[in-house]
Every structure is written in structure tokens, then in C-alpha cells.
Amino acid sequence: MGGAMAARLLAAGHRLTVHTRSPEKARRLIAAGAEWAATPAAAARGAAATFIMVGHPADVEQVVFGTDGVLDGLAPGTLLIDHTTSSPELAERLAAAAVGRGAWSLDAPVSGGDRGAREGTLTVMVGGDPRARQALEVCWSAVAGRVVDCGPPGSGQRTKLVNQIAIASGMIGMCEALLFAHRAGLGLETTLTAIGGGAAGSWSLANLAPRILRGDLGPGFLVEHFIKDMRLALEECRRMSLRLPGLELAESLYRSLADRGMERLGTQALVLALAEHAGHAWPLPGERSPPDLPRSP
């Protein structure tokens, strides 16, 4: 997603210096006019705003606080923006470290996926000073359809975790609905038509259920990234002494997918974990899907 967002910034006429941990990932950006920086510190040096988009909180820590990290290149009066979905507590530490340099930091995780990144329709959830956010309007207008000020540092991350918590149990509902319909011998397309427009309706049902029916369990959004996000949310829950049984159930089901080597499938692959749990044979990718089963006895 970072690549797609950077490409949109370039296309909008911004000067861009990039560093990627796997250099080949920067090739297309460099061909499109970006400059290469050998380290995160070098990328930050001389930049008015430094954007980070990596995988895990540990990667953010490494990229910012590590040797030749962003912090070494961050000049006073500039901005540090972390687009990674990461830990709220780390966002607070980033903000404090930026202040220590006379700079500003914003946590700014996004929703909208690869497609939102390519089309510039992401939602950005921002934690940090609204004045810093306003200074970024000129950049975010190229990548985002919506930018929401969520509150002080960490609030962007917390809001993104709220988003993932709503998705987690919603995915269970969508997949269980398909499993029940399949087991009961209902026509799955007809069933989606019947239930999609009312109180059962959701983004998952409209967008991911049809992919499941086509036998397409590819990402979309990777199982392994969603597990990371749910674990961040569960960590926050522990910190706040909050128990969320739906989130716990979703994390355990997705973990069972990862344990079976399916962490590179899309999140809709949850249907396989639930089928396993339910004792129901769901057709795997490559098989005919949806199979017309005989009516259940």
C-alpha cells in the first residue's frame, strides 16, 4: 500500500525520496521520478514530511529508532507520519520523540485497502495535533477520500483498531451465514440477493461473500495482517482490562488458519476455519464452488 500511496504523491507533483527495506520494491517509484535514499535517516533528511508505511510495530520501531533511523534525519519543524496500523502506545512514543526533535508526529493508519490506495480514496484516521494535520492537506488530498481527526497521539491507531474489531465479528457473521446456507442446500447467490439489502447487509457481505462464492480466497487483505491488527487490539484490551469475546473468537479462528499455513490468503478465508470448526466440508480454492450439494437430511 505504501507503494501505491507514494505513486499517487509523485503523480500529484510532489518531490519524493524513498527508502524501502527491499530495494526492488522502490524500482517503479524511482522510474517514475522518486529519488533513492540508502537509509531511513537519509530519506528524512531535508524532507518537510516523512511518511512511514511498514508491516508491524517492530518494523516501525526499527525504521524510526534504529541505526540510521528516521529520527536521526528528522529536522525541527518537520512532520513524521506513520501510516502503519500499529500500537497506540508506540504512537505516543513516536510523538514524544518527535517533540524532542522540535518536530511533529502523527499516527495516521488508513482503511480502504490496496484499491483505496491506488484510487486515492483511503480514509486516514489521524492522532495528533490538528494543525500538523492541516499542513498535510496538500499531501493527503492525493491519497485520501477522507481524513478524520481522532484526537491526541495514539487516537488514530485506536480508531483503526475499533475498525478492525467491527470487521472481526462481522466476518464471522458473514461466513457463518454462508456455511449455514450451504449446509442447508440453499442457492448461495439467491441467498445473498435475499439478505444483502437489509439489516444483515455489510461491506463484507457485499464485497467478500461474492468472492467466496467464486472460490476466490486471495487477498484483498492478508490473514497475517489482520491477525496482527487483532492482536494489537487484544493488547489494548488487556491494557484497559476489557474483554471482547467476539474479537477473541475471531483471533483464535484466524490463528487456526495461520497454523494451517493459510496466512497469505485474504480475510474471507475465515470461511475455511469456520467450516473446519463446524464440521462442514467447504470446497477449497480450485474445486468447483459453490457446489450444488444435495439437500441436507
Binding mask 55-94 for its own copies (x = CB under 8 A): ---------------------------------x------
Helix (H) or strand (E) holding 76: none
What residues pair up with 144 in beta bridges, in sequence order? 122
Q: Which of 8, 19, 101, 160 is catalytic?
A: 160
- Is residue 130 near its own copies by the rule CB under 8 A? no
Residue 258 engages its own copies in binding (rule: CB under 8 A) = no
Instruction: Report the residue from 13, 131, 199, 292 that binds its own copies according to the rule CB under 8 A.
Output: 199
Residue 223 binds its own copies (CB under 8 A): no
Q: Which of 10, 81, 174, 232 binds its own copies (CB under 8 A)?
A: 174
Shortest distance in whole angstroms from residue 281 CB to its own copies? 11
How far apart, in whole angstroms, are the C-alpha atoms of residue 152 and residue 91? 10
Contact between 218 and its own copies per CB under 8 A: no
91: CB partners within 8 A, 6+ apart: 82, 105, 107, 127, 153, 154, 156, 157
Which grid coordinates are listed for 23? 530495494
Residue tagged 508505511 (cell numbers): 53
Position 210 contacts its own copies (CB under 8 A)? no
163 binds its own copies (CB under 8 A): yes
228 is catalytic: no
183 lies in the binding site for its own copies (CB under 8 A) = yes
**Which span sits near its own copies by CB under 8 A: 49-57, 66-74, 154-162, 282-290?**
154-162
Question: Reduced to 3 states, what is the DSSP secondary structure of residue 9?
Answer: helix
Cis, peptide link before residue 290, omega less than 30° from 0:
yes
d(CA 183, CA 169): 21
Please, what is the minimum distance in Å from the beta carbon of residue 240 to its own copies? Answer: 5
Between residues 185 and 291, which has the closer beta carbon with respect to its own copies?
Answer: 185
Tell the smallest beta-carbon distance from residue 288 to its own copies (Å): 17
Residue with smaller CB distance to its own copies, 25 or 260: 260
Report helix, strand or coil for 133: helix
Residue 296 sits in the site that holds its own copies (CB under 8 A):
yes
Does position 28 interact with its own copies (CB under 8 A)? The reply is: no
Rounded to whole angstroms, how far apart are CA atoms 144 and 240?
A: 31
Cβ-in-10-Å burial (0-12, 13-18, 19+) of 195 comes to middle
The piece of 12-20, 132-140, 200-208, 211-219 that touches its own copies (CB under 8 A) is 200-208
- Host H or E run for residue 148: strand 144-151
Number of residues that bind its own copies (CB under 8 A): 74
User: Pairing between strand 104-107 and 79-82?
Assistant: parallel
| 110, 90 contact by CB (below 8 A) | no
Question: Pairing state of beta strands 144-151 and 17-18?
Answer: unpaired
What residues act catalytically? 160
